[in-house]
Amino acid sequence: MASHSGRLSSDKRFLIFFDFDETIVDETSDDVVVQAAPGQHLPGWLKDTYQPGRYNQYMQRVLAHLAEQGVTESDIRAVMEKMPASPGMPALFQFLRVRPAQDFEVVLVSDANTFFIESWLRRAGARQLFHRILTNPATFNRDGRLVMRPFHSHDCPRCPDNMCKQAVVRDYVARRTQERGRPFQRVLYVGDGANDFCPALALGPRDMAFPRRDFPMHRLITETHEATPGEFRAVTVPWVSAEEVVQRLRKLVAE
């Protein structure tokens, strides 16, 4: 019996998802990578190939162009490592790092890519904090080009064709609940963008959404509350500094 209760006590109580661009870091990595290009800009013809909802394909062309211009793996890593953290984010990471093991399972879900994210997290000393990183896979090929592949396909009309974060979150929560044999007490989601609104819609009334204040995710939550009360069910805690997230999590773990 003791070993059984021991297993249960080692199960995490809370699952917390983080977006990356403009949530963990205060910039957008897809924009920052352009700083590695000659003259730190892209040619107009390349920018003109962007189509709404097909950003992933556009970034694949951008990365191919950078390789053709002689931009190397270390050049790209260097610009990624320089991105500043969002306000208060180091304090939030430190809070999560020193919590007892059974408190938080921490997962990153992002429409950036593995190389951009891993470069920054390793430099920041934060890679070990994340149980999983769910993002578009990216690896360098023999020609030195960073090749990015779509994370998955889905049929959500709201999201770009390579990633619906709601599908990612739902799949992850279902799989982990099955593996654990019990649900998490609460699911938490920290984000900023329109593509973070979609997964937050799947949260229940005990769950929590932490939208960056006055960013698209926050505006969409506010609009939804006004237009269709009751559709957005999660407790909403907007933040300017991630220190505000820490304050709310302190209360949560003390309950």
Q: Backbone phi, then psi, for 167, in 5-degree steps?
A: -60, -40
Is the pLDDT at 18 greater than 90, yes or no? yes
How confident is the prediction for the chain on average, in pLDDT? 92
What are the pLDDT digits (tens) for 231-252?
999 999 999 999 999 999 999 9
Residue 227 maps to a domain? yes
Residue 37 lies in a domain: no
Tell me: pLDDT of 126 over 80: yes
What's the structural domain count of the chain?
Answer: 1
pLDDT at 4: 42
Residue 43: inside a domain: no
Binding residues for Mg(2+): 19, 21, 192
- Domain range for 165 is 2-27+85-141+149-254
Q: What is the pLDDT of residue 102?
A: 86
Whether residue 31 lies in the annotated active site? no
Instruction: Tell whether 178 is covered by a domain.
Output: yes
Q: Tell me whether residue 177 is in a domain.
A: yes
Q: Tens of pLDDT along 209-228?
A: 999 999 999 999 999 999 99
User: Which is catalytic among the residues 11, 21, 31, 155?
Assistant: 21
* Distance from C-alpha of 255 to C-alpha of 247, rounded to nearest angstrom: 13
CATH number of the domain within which 173 lies? 3.40.50.1000
- How does pLDDT run across 150-162, given as a tens digit for each residue? 777 778 888 788 8
Q: What is this structure's pTM?
A: 0.93
Bridge partners for 209 per DSSP: 189, 236
Evaluate whether residue 68 is within a structural domain: no
* Each residue's pLDDT tens digit, 47-93: 999 988 788 889 999 999 999 999 999 999 999 999 999 999 999 99
Is residue 184 within 8 A of residue 13, CB to CB? The reply is yes
Confidence of residue 1 (pLDDT cuts 50, 70, 90): very low
**Which one-letter amino acid corresponds to residue 19?**
D
Task: Tell me whether residue 45 is in a domain.
Answer: no
Mean local confidence (pLDDT), 171-195: 95
| 119 within a domain of the structure (yes/no) | yes
Kindly state the percentage of the chain with pLDDT values over 90. Answer: 83
Going 210 to 212 to 216 to 222, the CA torsion angle's sign is: positive
Binding site, annotated residues: 19, 21, 30, 111, 192
- Choosing from 11, 19, 171, 196, the catalytic residue is 19
203 contacts 189 by C-beta, under 8 angstroms: yes
